[in-house]
Amino acid sequence: MKPDQPYECGRNRPSDRRERRVILAVRKMSRLQREIEKGVQILQKGGVIAFPTDTVYGLGSDALNPRAVERVYEIKNRPRDQGLPLLVADVEQLVTLAGPIPEVASFLARRFWPGGLTLVLSKKDSLTAHLASGPTIAVRVPNHPVCLALIKGLGKPLTGTSANVSGQPAALTADEVEHQLRGRIDLIVNGGKCPGGKESTIVDVTCEPPTILRQGIIPSHEIDKAYNEYVETK
């Protein structure tokens, strides 16, 4: 280096690049947190939003608000005789919707929750028909921070059906939700691409052995293995 040549201290240093990445990540988290807070406010007012889960993007409303749930059916063009799966934050919310909880259901929940397992359970008699016209209800605890933050912020279960028009492919990104549901919903919480890439596995635990109603992100052999382990513990 020549004596009169200035030295640009720190230019393109790895530490500077790391700092920029950290700043960008913080900005992204701040933006996402604002979207989550806005989403909770919309849900509290009876609105409908889309949000990322550990499987695919979900279409959420306050599950205890009949008008909001009706909007979900209209947005998806979903037949009314097909109940909507629900998302809960924990077992405490689960027991407000379903009961009694069979031992096999508790075993599978401990194994796969939070995660991509939806359990079909006997619904509580106190639940109104807008949630489930039949005797059962489908519930799961998701494994995604955005989804869980929305449920906890609302303080109630969310509808957890996929954010797409019935019969169309499930959405894995906010752009895919926008393509299908543009102008129909109140907000899309953009949490990036869903990590699972496949819908949840649905298992009916009102009978024994449990019946897999939909093969999803959890393979059937894992469900079978868990059930066999449950039987061995009895």
Residue 9 lies in a domain: no
Tens of pLDDT, residue by residue over 171-200, are 999 999 999 999 999 999 999 999 999 999
For residue 137, give the nearest of 147, 127, 148 by alpha carbon. Answer: 127
Residue 53 lies in a domain: yes
Query: Is residue 203 scored above 90 in pLDDT?
Result: yes
Query: Is residue 227 scored above 90 in pLDDT?
Result: yes
Query: Is residue 25 scored above 70 in pLDDT?
Result: no
- Those residues whose C-beta lies under 8 Å from the C-beta of residue 93, and which sit 6 or more positions away, are 151, 156, 157
pLDDT-derived band at 20 (thresholds 50, 70, 90) equals low
How much is the pLDDT for 226? 98
The CATH number given to whatever domain includes residue 81 is 3.90.870.10
Residue 126 lies in a domain: yes
Residue 3 lies in a domain: no
Query: Is residue 209 scored above 50 in pLDDT?
Result: yes
DSSP string, 60-101: E-BTT-HHHHHHHHHHHT--TTSPPPEE-SSHHHHTTTB-SP
Query: Is residue 26 scored above 90 in pLDDT?
Result: no
How much is the pLDDT for 62? 98
Q: Which residue has the higher pLDDT, 18 or 16?
A: 18
Tens of pLDDT, residue by residue over 86-136, are 999 999 999 999 989 999 999 999 999 999 999 999 999 888 888 888 899
For residue 52, give the nearest of 177, 217, 179, 180 by alpha carbon. Answer: 177
Tens of pLDDT, residue by residue over 140-166, are 999 999 999 999 999 999 999 999 999
Residue 5 lies in a domain: no
Q: Which domain holds residue 137?
A: 14-233
pLDDT-derived band at 24 (thresholds 50, 70, 90) equals low
Token pair 């929750």: residue: 113
Residue 29 lies in a domain: yes
pLDDT-derived band at 4 (thresholds 50, 70, 90) equals very low
Query: What's the number of domains the chain is made of?
Result: 1
Query: Is residue 54 scored above 60 in pLDDT?
Result: yes
How much is the pLDDT for 2? 44
